[in-house]
Amino acid sequence: MYQDYFHLTRMPFSIAPDPYFMFMSERHREALSHLLYGVQGEGGILLLTGEVGTGKTTLCRCLLEQIEAQCNVAIILNPKMSVEELLASICDEFHIHVPVQAPSVKVLVDAINAHLLDANAKGRRAVLIIDEAQNLRVDVLEQIRLLTNLETNTRKLLQIILIGQPELQDMLRRPELRQVAQRIVARYHLGPLTRLEVAAYVVHRLRISGTQTPVFPYSLIGSLYRLTGGVPRLINLVCDRALLGTYVQRQLQVTPKTLEKAAREVIDVSIRQLRWRSLFAWSSLVLALYMGWGAVMAAGAIPLPPWMFSWQTPEWSAAVIAGTPAAPLLENASVSTVAAQAAVAPEPMSFAASNQPASGKHVLLWYAPPGFNTLLAGNWRI
């Protein structure tokens, strides 16, 4: 709808796995190098994993364009099937004729083996690519392992590439699949894009689509990265909807308001929830770090520097340190002097609950740098 309005030759943010739009980030280049190296190797299983929408299938299509000239390739897109169905699908993809109408596993494997030997004699490699491999059953994975046993005296006849979500790695850690895991010769996990890569990704797809107009201002890249987490598929969904909204408003650039509205329409988390989740995560991390540091200090694992004492009441004294009698405090003593006296106690400092605090106040001494206020208060004393 907006293609003519922005003078685009094609839709820039389609979610179809078109290798023409392939953006080679550092991670994608490394993943493709691993796959190409594995295909040119001596057989075995290659493992490519990644979260949903990170570009695994698009990378696979890019791989196919580079190896189809010298390889016979079979692609299984829906591996949720039985052993017999998988072997029959492999025969169909390799164009292997099986004369029997209801062949057994042995008949199918023999037909595949004969085809692989013939391809090897002609100097061609055979590659089996299984997408969505996290849906494979345990018995099917075991059969895939057995296919790697098809070999000559010098090399394996079949190279297998398993592409799936991180759940596939969890599956391969099971004890009953340890033999399959040992056949994996290369692994790579494809992660999301960084913030800088998101900016380059958007520009890349717009340029390939035929426009040089800065439809997405650079000031929006930070918001786009936070909204999508750097996942290419989510970036495509949000950007496509944002361009549609900009077209409806008859504007030439996407605005922050349009971007947020587009994200709310295509992502199942509201913008406000995303902001509060981020704020809560950072607040929790800071609080946990300070509390953990305070616990380490209180346990005596690390000597306390003088500036980390924060006295909450003048009646406090070193006499309460592990029940040890205290040396008399100097009148009008400085904080560092009091700290030095407290440091000579033979036992480490500890917190203890008290129903009747010595100072008559409900207070918790908090270890923090200067300017950091006491965060917690309760019925405690030292």
41-45, 109-113, 262-266: least confident range = 41-45
Q: What is the chain's mean pLDDT, rounded?
A: 78
What pLDDT score does 305 carry?
52
Q: Does 91 score more than 70 pLDDT? A: yes
| 348/78 Cα distance (integer angstroms) | 62
Q: Does 286 score more than 50 pLDDT? A: yes
Pair 50, 189: CB distance under 8 Å: yes
Find, among 134, 185, 120, the residue nearest to 164 by Cα.
Answer: 134
Largest CA distance in the chain: 103
What pLDDT score does 102 carry?
76
Pair 86, 142: CB distance under 8 Å: no
Encoding tokens for residue 214?
A: 């800065």
For residue 187, how many C-alpha atoms fall within 13 Å in the half-sphere facing its CB? 13
What pLDDT score does 303 carry?
56
| 310/382 Cα distance (integer angstroms) | 12
Query: What backbone torsions phi and psi does residue 35 show, to the nearest 5 degrees?
Result: -70, -45
Pair 375, 349: CB distance under 8 Å: no
The better pLDDT of the pair 342, 250 is held by: 250
- What pLDDT band is residue 341 in, cutting at 50, 70 and 90? very low
Orientation angle between helical segments 83-93 and 105-121, nearest 10 degrees: 30
Query: What backbone torsions phi and psi does residue 158 show, to the nearest 5 degrees?
Result: -130, 125
Find, among 285, 204, 357, 322, the residue nearest to 221 by Cα.
Answer: 204
- What pLDDT band is residue 283 in, cutting at 50, 70 and 90? low
- What pLDDT band is residue 363 in, cutting at 50, 70 and 90? very low
76-85, 94-103, 275-284, 288-297: least confident range = 275-284
What pLDDT score does 208 carry?
92
Encoding tokens for residue 345?
A: 């106690």
Q: Does 36 score more than 50 pLDDT? A: yes
Domains of the chain, residue spans: 26-190, 195-268, 290-381
Distance of alpha carbon 88 from its chain centroid, rounded?
35
Domain 26-190 = CATH 3.40.366.10: no
β-bridge pairing 71-76 and 184-190: unpaired
Residues of 2-23 as b/e, b for ≥16 C-beta within 10 angstroms?
bbeebebeebbbeeebeeebbb
Q: What percent of the chain has pLDDT over 70?
A: 71
3-12, 104-113, 205-214, 280-289: least confident range = 280-289
What pLDDT score does 134 carry?
94
